[in-house]
Amino acid sequence: MGIVATAAAASLTSCVSTVPRHPAPVVTPIPESAQVTKVYPVEQTPAFVGEELKGSALPDTATPRVLLGTSLNGTPVYLSDHRGKVVVASYWASRCAPCWTELTQLEDIHTDYNGRNVEIIAVNVGEVRAAIDSFVQQQQKPLRFTILSDHSEQASVAQGVKAVPTTLVFDAEGNVSKRYAGVFGFNPQRIRNDIDRLLSNRG
């Protein structure tokens, strides 16, 4: 079984109603032909939050390379494309209300660390291009970080993503430094602290 549940009205209701601190955004309906393919569960009790993952170097220079996703034009994007940078990769879906808040906060982080060897990447999991475009167009301010697609779930499964939202922080050598999973796992100050620590370690 993949990392998502079959689309169901009950799942949608659960995702929104159980996270009162993240009210559901007003979403313009997407044409039926462009609906999302699946609905991702949102972890209410994360299995791990900010867990140190020691010795988890990814095979960035080996074959196969670590796939983060594909650009919206269909070009594969690999972790090695950002070697030497701290990479924050957030796995999200437009039907997940907390993801709307997180991506807005990631845009603020992107602004703060722009030009400092930090790459913010948002990887959409399992949705069609029209759903991604609709989400981006409805943001109150532009999202200037990199947005990738993982429609096939290949990259998400490889990274151990079991639900959205999930955020991974990679150091400059391509190691997973921190993993934040579930609704209450993500915190923008934690992400900033992680980035500062990793930038400091680079000397």
**DSSP state letters, 64-101:** S--EEEE-TTS-EEEGGGGTTSEEEEEEE-TT-HHHHH
pLDDT at 3 over 90: no
pLDDT at 11 over 50: no
Q: What is the per-residue pLDDT for 24? A: 45
How many other CB atoms are found less than 10 A from the CB of residue 68? 27
pLDDT at 9 over 60: no
Report the run of H or E that residue 150 belongs to, with start and end: strand 146-150
Best CA proximity match to 194, nearest among 88, 94, 106, 101? 88
Question: What confidence tens digit (pLDDT) does each residue in 167-187 have?
Answer: 999 999 999 999 998 777 789
Half-sphere exposure of 132 (CA within 13 A, CB side): 21
pLDDT at 67 over 70: yes
Quickly state the pLDDT bin for 64 (edges 50, 70, 90).
low
Higher pLDDT, 14 or 109: 109
Best CA proximity match to 40, nearest among 90, 1, 95, 89? 95
Task: Determine the Cα angle at 77 with ends 52 and 92, to 5°.
Answer: 60
Task: Determine the Cα angle at 182 with ends 157 and 124, to 5°.
Answer: 50
Could you please state the CATH topology (level 3) that the domain comprising 9-17+32-201 is classified under: Glutaredoxin (3.40.30)
* pTM score of the predicted model: 0.72
Average pLDDT over residues 77-100: 93
